Amino acid sequence: MFITFEGIEGSGKSTQIKLLGENLTQRGHKVKIVREPGGTELGEKIRNIFLSSSEEKIDPFSEVMLLYASRKNLDVNVIRPNLQANNIVIADRYSDATIAYQSYGKGLDAQVIKDIHNFSSISTPNLTFFIDINENLSKQRISGREIDRMEKESLEFFSRVRTGYLEISRNNNRVHIIDGEKSIDQISIDILKIVEGAINASMG
């Protein structure tokens, strides 16, 4: 089973991934957690390039190519082998993020991203959780962090990304919208219920 978490910065992805990983491990599953971009030696190098501050405005198509170079390598080296071993793979962001950030956020034609996605023939998630918070709460929650290149974007940018995620969620049955303003414990219970339902369904 392949599960992805999506959402703007500070929505609670890392918090919930950690809890879901612990809950599933306790229930006897083998869990592999990966993050994007990154998760492989090459991917972590790309992550450094991707997130480091730059004087230059980085072209969104170039961003997409970097993300897909990392994603393909992650799929081949980590995601597929783990799925073949019947492990549960949980990813901190995946392909929906590229549509939300580089298309809705930065204006690149979504079809260009979809074409690159199709050419890359990578694994499709079974389940995706979009943890939804508004851009003001995002800003509050990440105010204590050292800010990376993507986190420097404006409130309007994160509002567009959020709109993108909401549309993606409406158009894809695999995506569950989670209200990120509920308590950490309540969200984790809701997510575990959906995951257990999907695991039971997949076992017939």
Asked whether position 10 contacts ligand ADP by CB under 6 A, the answer is yes
Asked whether position 9 contacts ligand ADP by CB under 6 A, the answer is yes
Asked whether position 187 contacts ligand ADP by CB under 6 A, the answer is yes
Residue number, 80 or 141, with CB nearest to ligand ADP = 141
Structure tokens at 106: 């930065």
Q: Is the peptide bond before 81 cis (omega within 30 degrees of 0)?
A: no
Asked whether position 141 contacts ligand ADP by CB under 6 A, the answer is yes
Q: What letter represents residue 156's amino acid?
A: E
- Whole-angstrom distance, CA of residue 30 vs CA of residue 15: 19
Asked whether position 11 contacts ligand ADP by CB under 6 A, the answer is yes
- Of all helices (H) and strands (E), which one includes residue 89? strand 88-92
Asked whether position 184 contacts ligand ADP by CB under 6 A, the answer is yes
Asked whether position 72 contacts ligand ADP by CB under 6 A, the answer is no
Query: Closest approach of Cβ 118 to ligand ADP, in Å?
Result: 28
Query: Closest approach of Cβ 203 to ligand ADP, in Å?
Result: 30
- Whole-angstrom distance, CA of residue 8 vs CA of residue 23: 24
Rounded (10°) angle between helices 184-202 and 13-26: 50
Query: Closest approach of Cβ 42 to ligand ADP, in Å?
Result: 23
Q: Are 192 and 23 in contact (CB under 8 A)?
A: yes
Asked whether position 37 contacts ligand ADP by CB under 6 A, the answer is no
Strand ordering across the sheet containing 127-132: 31-35, 88-92, 2-6, 127-132, 175-179
Query: Closest approach of Cβ 162 to ligand ADP, in Å?
Result: 13
Residue number, 78 or 137, with CB nearest to ligand ADP = 137
Residue number, 59 or 179, with CB nearest to ligand ADP = 179
Q: Are 16 and 187 in contact (CB under 8 A)?
A: yes
What is the phi/psi pair of residue 86, to 5°?
A: 65, 25
Handedness of CA 23, 202, 125, 174 (dihedral sign): negative
Query: Closest approach of Cβ 200 to ligand ADP, in Å?
Result: 26
Choice from 7, 37, 39, 105 touching ligand ADP (CB under 6 A) = 7
Residue number, 72 or 162, with CB nearest to ligand ADP = 162
